[in-house]
Amino acid sequence: MALAFIGGTGLYRLPELGEGRWEEVETPFGRVEVLRGRWEG
């Protein structure tokens, strides 16, 4: 699991992501696309 800091809202635990793959992750703050811990939009 990875931890992500979402602008002022605190930490959110991400599921394990595939190596080098974009995945959509549903968070309490909406859907985000993640590439190995990097957030996009």
**pLDDT tens profile 1-41:** 555 555 555 555 566 655 566 777 777 777 777 665 555 44
Q: Is the pTM of this model over 0.85?
A: no
Residue 1 CB contacts under 8 Å (≥ 6 apart), including other chains: 13, 14, 15, 16
Tell me, what's the pLDDT at 24?
75
Tell me, what's the pLDDT at 32?
74
Tell me, what's the pLDDT at 41?
47
